[in-house]
Amino acid sequence: MNESTRIAAEEIGQVDTVQSEQPSRMTDMWARARRNRWFLLVVVLPTVVAAIYYSFIASDIYQSESSFVVRSPGQKQSSTSSLASLIQTTGLSAGQEETSEIMEYIRSRDPVAALDRTVGLRDRFARRGADFLVRYPGPMREDRFENLYRYYDDMVKVRLDNETGVAVLDVRAFTPDDARVINAGLLDLSEQLVNRLNFRAQHQAIAEDEQRVAKAEDRLRRARVALARYRNAQGLLDPEKQAAGVLSVSNQLVSEQAALQAQLDLMTKVAPDNPAIPSIRSRIGAIGKEIETQNGRAVGTDSGIASKLSSYENLSLEQQFATQMLTMANATLEQSRSDAQKQQFYLERIVEPNTPDLARYPGRIKRILTVAAVMLCLYFIGWMLVVGILEHAPEG
């Protein structure tokens, strides 16, 4: 055998050896795969699927963040320490309660309907370029308002910083502009809600004060009518002044009678036969009758001024009280109208909605590693259960 023949024979032998080794390797690989089939199915396959999905299919999700707080014009920054704030039991401070109300409004269905009308919320959440598994309405879901609200609840989050009292609003969307527009729209709707609450509270107070003024005016009108009717019926303008005039006349008559009586006594002693004595006695008697008449006008009879004074004083007191109530009601109404010119609460934007330039979600590497770790844990748990069952199984 020459050299060329020998080399050719060796090459043919090597080819036969390689061809014989290839089925052996395939058999070993298939056997190894069968032995580790559960590991491949439970751990490797989900990890590969997650890697493909998050690397090539999952869409970028951008997050726009803003913060706000509801304040009153006269509200000052509290100097209370954090520890004192934790042990405070007197409830929410001024403005903090309104901030919580705005947060509840953002979580409600009302802004979903409003944003769908103003900025096209449904279309922004249903971007065609977005991942079909993540975009609205999602697989196996219909395009209904309730589904839109649930999707909105997943994409919009608002939380309260307990230390600062500032509400933080996070909005997720498939484009930076959509996230910013939805965030800004929610802040605009929140400001409109604060204004409506102010308007309602202020005008409700004015309406209540106007009702009090109307009632006070009606009461004063009825008091004046009652007093006028009493005066006309009794023929009295002012019983107190009239009684004072009657008593003044009676006092003058008493003084005059006393002077005449003194003159009569003196004349009787000095000149008992004086022809003026009968005239003086007549005058004293006439004055006495007039005194009785005047006293009868004031007191002592059912038609006297004194008997009418009590009813008059009650009616007059009612008129004075009604006048004071009307004055107080008008003052309160003017104060309410003055307060209505001022905004009781306003929404202050601490941080305006930003336009993100980097996608924050889905966090591809983190999600892939999370899937791998979870499936690996499940695999080991299942493996330990199977080993435990086999160890305690009775030998056959």
pLDDT digits (tens, 9 = 90+) for 231-257: 776 666 556 555 555 556 666 767 777
Q: Residue 284 belongs to what domain range?
A: 209-340
The arithmetic mean of pLDDT across residues 64-81, rounded, is 70
Q: Given the structure tokens 């905004």, which residue do they identify?
A: 343
The answer as to whether 4 is a domain residue is no
Higher pLDDT, 159 or 42: 159
Residue type present at position 363: G
Higher pLDDT, 367 or 373: 373
Contact (CB, 8 A) for 284 and 261:
yes
Per-residue pLDDT for 304 more than 70? no
The answer as to whether 45 is a domain residue is yes
At 90, give phi and psi (nearest 5°): -90, 10
The answer as to whether 17 is a domain residue is no
Predicted local distance difference test score (pLDDT) of residue 11: 52
Predicted local distance difference test score (pLDDT) of residue 108: 94
Tens of pLDDT along 322-332? 899 989 988 88
115 and 177 in a single domain? The answer is: yes
Per-residue pLDDT for 290 more than 70? no
Per-position DSSP letters for 319-354, written without gaps between them: HHHHHHHHHHHHHHHHHHHHHHTS-S-EEEEEEPPP
Query: What percent of the chain has a predicted confidence (pLDDT) above 70?
Result: 70
Per-residue pLDDT for 344 more than 70? yes
65 and 200 in a single domain? The answer is: yes
Predicted local distance difference test score (pLDDT) of residue 74: 57
Task: Please state, in angstroms and rounded to a whole number, the distance separating the CA atoms of residues 190 and 156.
Answer: 14
253 and 296 in a single domain? The answer is: yes
284 and 387 in a single domain? The answer is: no
Predicted local distance difference test score (pLDDT) of residue 24: 64
- Length of the chain as a residue count: 396
pLDDT band at 90 (very low <50, low <70, confident <90, very high): very low
What is the number of other CB atoms lying within 10 angstroms of the CB of residue 33?
A: 11
CA angle (85, 158, 78) in 5-degree steps? 25
200 and 80 in a single domain? The answer is: yes
For the chain, what is the domain count? 3
